[in-house]
Chains A and B, each alone.
Chain A
Amino acid sequence: MVGYVAGKVGRAVFVAWAAFTVTFVLLFVLPADPVDLLFDPATINTIPPEVKEQVSDNYGFNQPVVLQYFSRLWQALQGDFGNSVQSGKSVTTSIGEVVPHTLVLAFGALFLAIIIAFVIAVVATSTRNQWLRGFVEALPTAAVSVPVFLSGILLLQLFAFRLGWFPAFGDDGWRSLVLPLVALAIPVAGPIAQLLVRSFGTELQSGYVTTSRAKGADRTQIFTRDVFRNASLPALTIAGVTFGNLIAGSVITETVFARTGVGRLTQSAISTLDVPLVQGLVVFVAVTFAVINLAVDLVYPLLDPRLRAVAASTGGRA
């Protein structure tokens, strides 16, 4: 068991280190001199060399690459990713300030998505109307297919600009959260709903349902007592995995709805090649992924006795 945990933790640490190292190589070594990116591109050829040198020196870009790598790694281990070259602000502060906004958006959307997915699955498997069933079963695929960008713009056109029910931007109270949440929840709900529809179907065919039915349980009882519980576990798992979808979707949602957040910060950091900030963001996202996966890995054996046996015997891969 200890071996299993150590292995999983080791993997998470490796992911974070690899993210740091790969971004370092990509950002500090490969493209242009990072100093060039600090100036207006139109004036870049007219910057006196001594000025470039001074700026290099300020940011430590003129040190040997290996030295830069280890000093940055050492600082990163202490939570210091340097200062954003576009704002002068510390990278850690910049990210820390926007994380709560994205968390509210991401968890709100995930919660909404799970509700949508359950509604779709319940309707799809419980209705006897063939046409309605077909329509509802097609919804998850459609939800996955519509890009957040498009649904966001459509929602804005309709509910903000035309009907005026919700503000188009801003973060004043719950009303400004509604449209972004819906836009982001739609594509996330898709895969969860697909899985639920399938597992509801499978569970309904299984033996214990037949048994319940034989005992005289009606449809609603079968659903709420048996199927619901058994089919939900895999759906909750996939909800965790859709974290990636949420992050990717939040980049677009935050841009379309002009909100502050990690996604928007990432987008602008990349578009201005704010080297320290991009690196901080990549490591932040990698660590978050690693931690979520680690949590899932560690919680799974607790939930599923079969996995517990595997973990105990191999002490590693599961």
Chain B
Amino acid sequence: MSDLRSSIEQSDSAQRRRWPWIAGALALVAIVVIGVVVARGGSGDTAAGGDGTPVRGGTLNFSLIDYQRSPDPQWGTNYAESLIAGNVTDKLLWQDPKTGDVTPWLAESWTYNPALTEFTFKLHKGVTFSDGLPFDAQAVKLNFDQYIKGDPALGITPNGAPLFPGYVGTDVIDDHTVRLRFERPLASALQAVSFTANAGPGFLSPNTLRLSAEQRSADATKVVGTGPFVYESWKPQVETVLARRKGYDWAPPALKHKGEAYLDRIVFRSIPEASVRTGSLTSGAIDATLDVGTTDEKALIAQGYKIIYRPVSGTAIYFNFNSQLFPTNDIAVRKAIQLGWNRDSLTKTVLTPSYSVASSVLQPSVPGYADYRGSVVRFDRDKAAQILDAAGWKPGPDGIRVKGGKRLEVKLLGINNLVVNTPAYESIQQDLKKIGVDLKLTVVPIPDYTAQQAKAKTDWNVVAANRSRNDPAVLNLQYSPELGNGAYIGPESPGIDQAEVTKVLGQIETTLDPAQRAQYTKAAQDLLLEKYALVNPVYNPSQVIAHAGYIHGIVFDAQSRNSFVAAWKGAADDNRADG
């Protein structure tokens, strides 16, 4: 996102060269002045006491980097959109962020057929949308049909299609019973109805579903859900204000919160610039901020702010190897990259305590995760070199290995949307150079990444990203040759049994028995990490919030989005530093 900005600044710099010393001197003076002021300014806020009994009322001022481009909860694909939408709408089920179990929410109970193609939900009675319409079976059907199939006449895209592949339809069985039907087994459907990340299945009032995309954006207050907060106002690019929903009494039982939200109001403020977010927090203009820079965490803790975080559940940041493109079509190269870089130095030089080095392609909170630090997810430079030697990769004149006259050059495509990505990849790049692998990095903004990814099959050896979905089926979605095919497995991939990969990964969608599912998930990880070395897990990204000590009860859900129904603001305003 800084592309335009930096190009503008660079074009400025042509003129800058003429009087560099004046500019430099002025900047120096300014920095000294500010330094003096900062040093005199004292220590800022101190942590509040008053924990324990929640207090009702108050406004939470919360900042984040993104803004909500559309107030429609089923539409948005950025973090602000899913975060805010999650507090305006509710889901059928709540996934426990610790255990990964799905628990009741708007659905009190559920059953499914043995084939896992039909899922029947009994709805919680007495739930209403904030416009007064009842939340019933018909409303659920209207929502799923529009969400998954879209409505061209209203300009609604099929936002839910990736989450519910093979959706046939929803049957209204009685007022408070619905059945979702799918073409083929979809064990992950239960997790999908609890999904809180981008473009999620939060329920909108039938009155809202009748509106076009344009009408929903024109007046956010017409976007009506059953959630603990309702839209008060929405200013594109700037802020979204939510107000407490009166009469709300159906928070997920797992949260043990009864009745309405504690806060009167939440103001979500978009502040793109990191130093402004931090400065606004320390000057008391806001109470909490998401998207805390890694370098700011320590300083904020030192000033008495609380840092809370949760890893983004789903896959770790992965290096997906292209199994059909030279040189990553050689399993020796893939294995050497897995072993050839130092996890400790990454932890020490790049990551803060809020992040962790990956230990599998799955993030530890996903059910069925297994730990591979003992086998392939570890640093063993000698073994990596040995593997390459054995495969005929000989050190060339510049230290980079060569085989058949071709250099061991690995082209990586990554996204710069997370602050840690580029430094992490650079750390790995340096380590790999020592075993004779030349990792070439191209880390770009999201749209460029998306555009390049379309050519990844023929152009890129490694695609580096992550995928947020707290269900082991994420492996099938990401790597099955019939779905995401993250390793580009095909007839051109030497030594890989395509049918085996499809089958082993596909098994995850065929059972909901926890023990069996864990077994299938383990088998899938074994295949991806050990047998075919199709992925090199890097680190577990996190969502990090810094907040004042008087803020309590912000919950990270299973997808690491935040629920504010139980959040409260302590006897607090008095301890805020004045100005």
Chain B residues lying within 8 Å of A161, measured Cβ to Cβ, are 279-280, 282-283
Chain B residues lying within 8 Å of A32, measured Cβ to Cβ, are 450-454
Q: Which of A42-90 contact B (CB under 8 A)?
A: 42-48, 51, 54-55, 57-58, 83-84, 86-90
- Contact between A154 and B157 (Cβ–Cβ < 8 Å)? no
Chain B residues lying within 8 Å of A158, measured Cβ to Cβ, are 33-34, 37
Complex formed: what's the CA distance from A183 to B528 in Å? 53
Q: Mark A21-33, 1 if CB is under 8 A from B, else 0.
A: 0000000000111
Given contacts A55-B158, A268-B69, contact A41 B453 (CB under 8 A): yes
Given contacts A42-B466, A255-B272, A267-B5, contact A37 B216 (CB under 8 A): no
Q: Mark A139-175, 1 if CB is under 8 A from B, else 0.
A: 0011011110110011011101111100111110000
Point out which of A87, A138, A260 has the most chain B C-beta atoms below 10 A from its C-beta: A87
A46 to chain B, nearest CB (A): 5
Closest B residue to A58 using CB positions: B152
Q: Mark B259-286, 1 if CB is under 8 A from A, else 0.
A: 0000000000111110110011011010
Complex formed: what's the CA distance from A255 to B238 in Å? 10
- Contact between A88 and B217 (Cβ–Cβ < 8 Å)? yes
A258 within 8 A of B: yes
- Contact between A86 and B70 (Cβ–Cβ < 8 Å)? yes
- Contact between A87 and B579 (Cβ–Cβ < 8 Å)? no
- Contact between B465 and A258 (Cβ–Cβ < 8 Å)? no
A266 within 8 A of B: yes
Q: Which of B140-174 contact A (CB under 8 A)?
A: 150, 152, 155-158, 161-162, 165
- Contact between A46 and B484 (Cβ–Cβ < 8 Å)? yes
Complex formed: what's the CA distance from A153 to B5 in Å? 14
Closest A residue to B212 using CB positions: A88
- Contact between A169 and B445 (Cβ–Cβ < 8 Å)? no
- Contact between B272 and A87 (Cβ–Cβ < 8 Å)? no
A-B contact count (CB 8 A): 231
B506 to chain A, nearest CB (A): 13
A31 to chain B, nearest CB (A): 4
- Contact between A42 and B22 (Cβ–Cβ < 8 Å)? no
B184 to chain A, nearest CB (A): 12
- Contact between B4 and A88 (Cβ–Cβ < 8 Å)? no
Chain A residues lying within 8 Å of B279, measured Cβ to Cβ, are 156-157, 160-161, 168
Given contacts A146-B26, A270-B4, A271-B447, contact A141 B19 (CB under 8 A): yes
Chain B interface residues (CB < 8 Å from chain A): 1, 3-5, 8-9, 12, 15-16, 18-20, 22-23, 26-27, 30-31, 33-34, 37-38, 41, 67, 69-70, 72, 75, 77, 150, 152, 155-158, 161-162, 165, 198-199, 212-214, 216-218, 235-238, 269-273, 275-276, 279-280, 282-283, 285, 415, 445-447, 449-454, 465-468, 477-478, 483-486, 578-579
- Contact between B158 and A42 (Cβ–Cβ < 8 Å)? no
> A42-B465, A258-B238, A260-B238 known; 7 other A-B pairs, CB under 8 Å?
A40-B162, A42-B466, A51-B150, A93-B214, A142-B22, A160-B285, A167-B285
- Contact between A154 and B30 (Cβ–Cβ < 8 Å)? yes
A174 to chain B, nearest CB (A): 18
A39 within 8 A of B: yes
A273 within 8 A of B: yes
Closest A residue to B67 using CB positions: A268
- Contact between B285 and A168 (Cβ–Cβ < 8 Å)? yes
Chain A residues lying within 8 Å of B41, measured Cβ to Cβ, are 162
Chain A interface residues (CB < 8 Å from chain B): 31-33, 36-48, 51, 54-55, 57-58, 83-84, 86-90, 93-94, 97-98, 138, 141-142, 144-147, 149-150, 153-154, 156-158, 160-164, 167-171, 187, 248, 251-252, 255-261, 264-268, 270-273
Given contacts A162-B37, A270-B4, contact A58 B447 (CB under 8 A): no
Complex formed: what's the CA distance from A170 to B269 in Å? 9
What are 7 sample pairs from A and B whose C-beta atoms fall under 8 A apart?
A89-B70, A93-B214, A142-B19, A145-B20, A146-B27, A256-B273, A264-B237
B288 to chain A, nearest CB (A): 15
- Contact between A273 and B466 (Cβ–Cβ < 8 Å)? no
Given contacts A83-B155, A161-B280, A271-B445, contact A89 B214 (CB under 8 A): yes
- Contact between B161 and A51 (Cβ–Cβ < 8 Å)? yes
B23 to chain A, nearest CB (A): 4
Chain A residues lying within 8 Å of B15, measured Cβ to Cβ, are 144-145
Point out which of A45, A90, A171 has the most chain B C-beta atoms below 10 A from its C-beta: A45
Given contacts A44-B453, A87-B236, contact A142 B23 (CB under 8 A): yes
- Contact between B276 and A256 (Cβ–Cβ < 8 Å)? yes
Complex formed: what's the CA distance from A233 to B10 in Å? 31
Given contacts A45-B486, A168-B283, A258-B272, contact A145 B5 (CB under 8 A): no
Chain B residues lying within 8 Å of A252, measured Cβ to Cβ, are 5, 8-9
Point out which of B12, B37, B41 has the most chain A C-beta atoms below 10 A from its C-beta: B12
Complex formed: what's the CA distance from A32 to B282 in Å? 42
Point out which of B9, B285, B450, B478 has the most chain A C-beta atoms below 10 A from its C-beta: B450
- Contact between B486 and A88 (Cβ–Cβ < 8 Å)? no
Complex formed: what's the CA distance from A157 to B34 in Å? 7
Given contacts A142-B23, A156-B276, contact A55 B157 (CB under 8 A): yes
Chain A residues lying within 8 Å of B198, measured Cβ to Cβ, are 40
Chain A residues lying within 8 Å of B237, measured Cβ to Cβ, are 98, 259-261, 264-265, 268
Closest B residue to A138 using CB positions: B22
- Contact between A38 and B4 (Cβ–Cβ < 8 Å)? no
A215 to chain B, nearest CB (A): 39
- Contact between A138 and B236 (Cβ–Cβ < 8 Å)? no
Complex formed: what's the CA distance from A270 to B6 in Å? 14
- Contact between A40 and B158 (Cβ–Cβ < 8 Å)? no
